Structure 1
Amino acid sequence: MAVVGFDFGTTNSLISVVQGNRVVSFLDDQGLPVPSVVCYEGSQTIVGREARERLGQAGLGVQGNVVRSPKTLLGRESVFVGGVERSPVDIVREVVEFVRRQALDAKTVRNLDADRAVVTIPVMMEGHRRALLRDAFRMAGMSVVQFVHEPLAALYGYLRSSDDFDATLRHYDRQLVLVFDWGGGTLDLTLCRLVDGLLIQVGNDGTDEVGGDWFDDELKNEIERRVRATRSLSDDVEVQAEGRSRLLHACERAKIDLSQRSRVNVYVPNFFRGLDDPDLDFPLSREELDAIVAKLVNKGLARIERLLDREGYSSAAVAKCLATGGMANMPVVRARLHELFGPNRVHVSERSASLISEGAAWVAHDEAKLHLAKNVELVLARNSYMPLLAAGLEMPQEGEVRGDKFSLYCVDPTDGFGKFELMAPHRPGPKVLPDDMRRPLTNLVVPVDSKAAPFRERLQLDVTVDENLILKAQARSLNQRGSAEAEVHDLEFALALPTGKRGWLGAERIEGEAGDGPKPAKGGLVMRSNIASYEDNKLVPGEVLYRFAPLYFDTRNGPPQLQVDERLYYEPCTYCKRASNDPLCTCASAPRTPQVGSNRPSASA
């Protein structure tokens, strides 16, 4: 039984499956993906294009009996639809069931069960929302084999469907590819490096603040403002209860049409209330549309520069920009991408509506497993790094958990807390150097016995990754019995293409171009780790160790100068009792008169 690919999108959803050596996508009667819209009419539930058309005609949004983009509602306890309280998980289930049923009814593929799927998700989708999405699929009769980031699935599908697969892999080997997925609900970015057939996420970024729905809303507000100004209509002139929702639908249609035409007419009958001419009629040119949405376009494209800057690359380092999603079809977006990367390095997919679903289908067909792209490390005392989960670790699939347990020590319990800081190198792969740049993942602070000697307070750290790709860290102190928990939802992953090679899964160190990589940040505060994986007095701060083992600092024992300096730095002056770094302390340079009966020499002796 084939595992299908399922792109459950904010605005549209689609199932694809690999049949033989080609992908079959189950589009609707208009040859398009299924709109992610649900309409409730009494005991009847309407899903897909018919529900979308009712949204356009009746103008009822989530405040009425139509729910648009139900994925955005995941995480809420409930929403009111047509006066009825409903669970967002149930609403999502309606869409999943409809899309699955449409695929089964198509009879295009023999013996299709569509009960197991590789499901795509936005890169910034929180872990608890992934878990709710999994619940919705389970309720719809489908199990989620694994989640895959939408832009990563798009790139996988682009490569697998190329005319000469092997030649394409050779061409982009060791190169950076940026996937730019701008849909109706979210803008998702992933920067990948292709290494011996392994797609490795170098960095991700995403936002739901500039999706196509925001463009529609901006256009709706501006058109109403201009029509009121042209017709000298004050704010006292009311709009029909369904008017603005119908205008929103018309604006979405106009935005799409202006990708192919230079001018359209936005017409909404019976828009205003109480006027002899209640219709809204507004001619809109492509240039006017570009001006109206310019701020949103700039905000979206700025995410590219933000991602590249964060990872330490220029646009010139990107070998290919793969643009998908409906917004990539806007001429102004294409033009700006061409300005940034050059026309030859930008590919706007002609299968933009289905590429993500196709990629998920190829992942399912190839049985490609997600692997951790970067080490998960614990910062130890004296700024060393302990690998907790190694890059290349196969990520858990449905019902699985991966992880490990670690027994540790607190080297300095003075402030009463054990401080755990989890980091990930910017460089992918298992082989990283101590001076490679790292980014913080999460911190845990656990109460410990502040009076304990170094290494007497034992600590336990459990790190796991579950089927929803949520990293969970649980820390405990065994003496004080303190505990803390934290989660990480934004890990980077890798997918192995079916080439027979294993990339850095064979322990290769990933090398970029000279000068690549992020630059160290200047200034800022850092948390000093007081955790160790083994007992060694050299890891204990000098001023702390002196209280418990003063003979350690006997010069005949050769104590490390760093610990000697630490002890002296925090020890007050013997004479004036000021801190050692206090500029008012001049005792070391002033002559001293020995006290009567004292054998201590003066400072000048």
Structure 2
Amino acid sequence: MLIGIDLGTTNSAVAVWDGGEARLVPNALGALLTPSAVSIDAEDQVWLGTPALDRLAIAPQDTATSFKRLIGTAATASLGGSLYRAEDLSALVLGALVADVEAQCGQRATEAVITVPAYFNDRQRKATRKAGELAGLRVTRLINEPTAAALAFGLADKGDREPFLVFDLGGGTFDVSIVEMFEGIVEVRASAGDNRLGGDDFDAALATLVRPRLDPDRLLDVLPAEQRDALLSRAAQDCRKALSTSSEAEFALVLDNRRMATMVTDSEFEAACKPLLDRLRDPVVRALRDSQIDAAELSEIVLVGGATRMPVVRRAITRLFGRFPNATVHPDHAVALGAAIQAGLAGRDAALSEIRITDVCPYTLGVEVAEQDGFGGIQRGLFSPIIERNTPVPVSRMQSYSTLGDAQKKIEFGIYQGEAREVARNVRLGRIEIPVPARPAGEVEAEVRFSFDSSGLLEVDVHVPLDGTQHSIVIVDEEDRLDPAELEKRREQLAALKFHPREEAGNVALRARAERCYEDHLGDMRQMIGHWITRFDGALDTQDPRRITEARESLNRMLDEIEGSAPL
């Protein structure tokens, strides 16, 4: 059985594709959301979900929440005297969701589509997949959260939609995706985000705001830091939720049978959150810039994630875009429902036979290089992009590099993911070292091709034209656990992409037509055709399918006008 799971920072949810529609599965308490909380005592008694969250105030040292923010890192939490990594705790939550499905559906799930923030890097995605495996699941696909939400929103009527923006602010992460739907294709144009911005940060800002007047005598200082933070966090969550429906709310907690409380206004909360609200802008601007879409062209601003319920956030979004956002999608359910739809797609359900989804590579992929600085020195450890972020996948791109030293006998390419100029600030994925003929500096060229698919497989091919040698390495998201037959199938699919657009038959034919037209004319007309050919060549060199398509259509149209007007 294949299920869809929204593994969230604050809450998680599970859904199934059943009878031609996505359906959320309630937990043992009848709720559709399960808190992402784990509590383990010294006797190894485990509490999950709401019972674990209830223990946070009384046993904070044995309770963990918001651990999704630590997934993919070496950080650990000590619960019940044992250390647990974020993927271990996530696996316990996933296991509880699987048990809920079995109890409701009478069948145990063995496979899952799990959602992740669009801006999760390779380490975080691998750790999420690891969590699924620890829970006894085969993770068939990781799907970006805003992409899943877009599926739930876009397939409501299966109609074409102009580009719309999914604004996903959850408990711990913030994602933005720009999506377009046409003729059954759900196309993600660009994604951006902030993995350290979410509802938890707004709770912390609220607690910092009220602490001086809530506790002027600093009575909370006598508590252990974990217990104090747990009390303040829980009170902040309750107050923040109350401010979503009122202009004023009480921030209250109980300490040693003494009730401590103070009132907070919506305007005070908004002022305290201003630095956080300002951070919402940058990912939006980046996604718009990468998609080459103006904000005015967006048909909708779709809100996803529980934190978007806050009026301060909705007002900030309205100011940012100059219009009101679309709040028709259930902010807590859309991602899980979208994951179930993706599960239906994976299962080739007849109701989804006409639907296809395309996503983008959220991070730039490239290699480590060294460059001469113009003053006789060499700058090492620099990042050279090969596949730029927000390139539609699957994709294959090539860049050429040459030796930097005389008689150089080998070239080593470190393979990285990220956006920083220095590779030390990016994520290292692997390396490939190749022997090259010893020649003077710059005479030996290496063509490096990256081929990347939607499931995280990255194939790196290096070709040395001087001696004709070819070297390759495969980096998979599953840490080499992919079935050999499945790996070969995916590599064959990528092989179809491994040619430069200049070699594509349609582009070759069009360029030959343009050259023939150039030869047939003289004077200003010839110069103009030559300029068109140069522009088309430039588009081909970008290896960007969208730009190439636009350039091809433009060149065809102009040649049709010339040849159609030629005298008989």
Per the shorter chain, which TM-score range? 0.5 to 0.7
Partner of 1:356: 335
Q: Percent identity?
A: 22
Partner Cα separation in structure 2 for residue 179 and residue 137 of structure 1: 26
Aligned residues of 1:193 and 1:202 also touching (Cα < 8 A): yes
Aligned residues of 1:16 and 1:361 also touching (Cα < 8 A): yes
1:322 aligns with one of 286, 299, 302 = 302
Q: Could you state the TM-score of these two structures normalised by the residue count of structure 1?
A: 0.62
Partner Cα separation in structure 2 for residue 386 and residue 415 of structure 1: 26
Aligned residues of 2:3 and 2:15 also touching (Cα < 8 A): yes
Compared with structure 1, are the counterparts of its residues 261 and 112 closer, same or farther at alpha carbon in structure 2 (3 Å cutoff)? farther
Partner Cα separation in structure 1 for residue 429 and residue 44 of structure 2: 47
Partner of 1:58: 58
Partner of 2:81: 83
Compared with structure 1, are the counterparts of its residues 185 and 423 closer, same or farther at alpha carbon in structure 2 (3 Å cutoff)? closer
The C-alpha deviation readout for 1:288-330, integer Å capped at 9, x for no partner, is 2222212211212343234324544332121111111011111
Partner Cα separation in structure 1 for residue 299 and residue 400 of structure 2: 44
Compared with structure 1, are the counterparts of its residues 472 and 84 closer, same or farther at alpha carbon in structure 2 (3 Å cutoff)? same
Aligned residues of 1:458 and 1:479 also touching (Cα < 8 A): no
The C-alpha deviation readout for 1:490-519, integer Å capped at 9, x for no partner, is xxxxxxxxxxxxxxx9xxxxxxxxxxxxxx
In the TM superposition, what is the alpha-carbon distance from 1:51 to its structure 2 partner? 0.4
Rg comparison, structure with higher value: 1
Partner Cα separation in structure 1 for residue 279 and residue 329 of structure 2: 25
Compared with structure 1, are the counterparts of its residues 315 and 371 closer, same or farther at alpha carbon in structure 2 (3 Å cutoff)? closer
SS of equivalent residue, structure 1 residue 157: helix
Q: Which residue identity does 1:198 align to in structure 2? A: I
Q: Which residue identity does 1:47 align to in structure 2? A: L
Instruction: Let me know the Cα RMSD of the aligned residues.
Output: 4.4
Q: Could you state the TM-score of these two structures normalised by the residue count of structure 2?
A: 0.66
User: Does residue 109 of structure 2 align to residue 140 of structure 1?
Assistant: no
The C-alpha deviation readout for 1:327-354, integer Å capped at 9, x for no partner, is 111112222323333546x212441111
Aligned residues of 1:59 and 1:243 also touching (Cα < 8 A): no
Aligned residues of 1:315 and 1:340 also touching (Cα < 8 A): no
Superposition map of 1:410-449 within 5 A:
416=408
Compared with structure 1, are the counterparts of its residues 65 and 415 closer, same or farther at alpha carbon in structure 2 (3 Å cutoff)? farther
Partner Cα separation in structure 1 for residue 59 and residue 429 of structure 2: 44
In the TM superposition, what is the alpha-carbon distance from 1:372 to its structure 2 partner? 6.1
Superposition map of 1:142-291 within 5 A:
142-160=137-155, 162=156, 164-165=157-158, 168-169=159-160, 172=161, 175-228=162-215, 231=216, 233=217, 238-239=222-223, 242-270=227-255, 279-291=259-271
In the TM superposition, what is the alpha-carbon distance from 1:392 to its structure 2 partner? 7.5
Compared with structure 1, are the counterparts of its residues 260 and 421 closer, same or farther at alpha carbon in structure 2 (3 Å cutoff)? same
User: Does residue 5 of structure 2 align to residue 10 of structure 1?
Assistant: no
**How many residues end up aligned between the 2 structures?**
436
The C-alpha deviation readout for 1:2-31, integer Å capped at 9, x for no partner, is x21111111111111122133220134363
Compared with structure 1, are the counterparts of its residues 292 and 411 closer, same or farther at alpha carbon in structure 2 (3 Å cutoff)? closer
SS of equivalent residue, structure 1 residue 319: coil
Aligned residues of 1:444 and 1:484 also touching (Cα < 8 A): no
Partner Cα separation in structure 1 for residue 394 and residue 237 of structure 2: 42
Partner of 1:121: 116
Aligned residues of 2:3 and 2:111 also touching (Cα < 8 A): yes
SS of equivalent residue, structure 1 residue 23: strand
Partner of 1:526: none
In the TM superposition, what is the alpha-carbon distance from 1:462 to its structure 2 partner? 6.2
Q: Which residue identity does 2:310 align to in structure 1? A: M
Superposition map of 1:309-348 within 5 A:
309-343=289-323, 346-348=325-327
In the TM superposition, what is the alpha-carbon distance from 1:39 to its structure 2 partner? 0.3
Partner Cα separation in structure 2 for residue 299 and residue 184 of structure 1: 15
The C-alpha deviation readout for 1:427-486, integer Å capped at 9, x for no partner, is xxxxxxxxxxxxxx9999978768527998474746454785153536476989999989
Compared with structure 1, are the counterparts of its residues 308 and 119 closer, same or farther at alpha carbon in structure 2 (3 Å cutoff)? same
Partner Cα separation in structure 2 for residue 407 and residue 238 of structure 1: 60
Partner Cα separation in structure 1 for residue 259 and residue 358 of structure 2: 56
Aligned residues of 1:414 and 1:450 also touching (Cα < 8 A): no
SS of equivalent residue, structure 1 residue 269: strand
Q: Which residue identity does 2:313 align to in structure 1? A: V
Structure 2 residues not aligned, in runs of 5+: 347-354, 368-384, 418-427, 478-492, 494-501, 504-568
Aligned residues of 2:239 and 2:251 also touching (Cα < 8 A): yes
Partner of 1:45: 46
SS of equivalent residue, structure 2 residue 127: helix
Partner Cα separation in structure 2 for residue 317 and residue 488 of structure 1: 37
Compared with structure 1, are the counterparts of its residues 447 and 366 closer, same or farther at alpha carbon in structure 2 (3 Å cutoff)? closer
SS of equivalent residue, structure 2 residue 17: strand
Q: Which residue identity does 1:75 align to in structure 2? A: G
Partner of 1:366: 345
Partner of 1:452: 439
SS of equivalent residue, structure 1 residue 348: coil
The C-alpha deviation readout for 1:43-82, integer Å capped at 9, x for no partner, is 2111001101111x3161xxx1111123223223443234
Partner Cα separation in structure 2 for residue 329 and residue 335 of structure 1: 11
Partner of 2:277: 297
Partner Cα separation in structure 1 for residue 399 and residue 269 of structure 2: 60
Compared with structure 1, are the counterparts of its residues 236 and 74 closer, same or farther at alpha carbon in structure 2 (3 Å cutoff)? closer
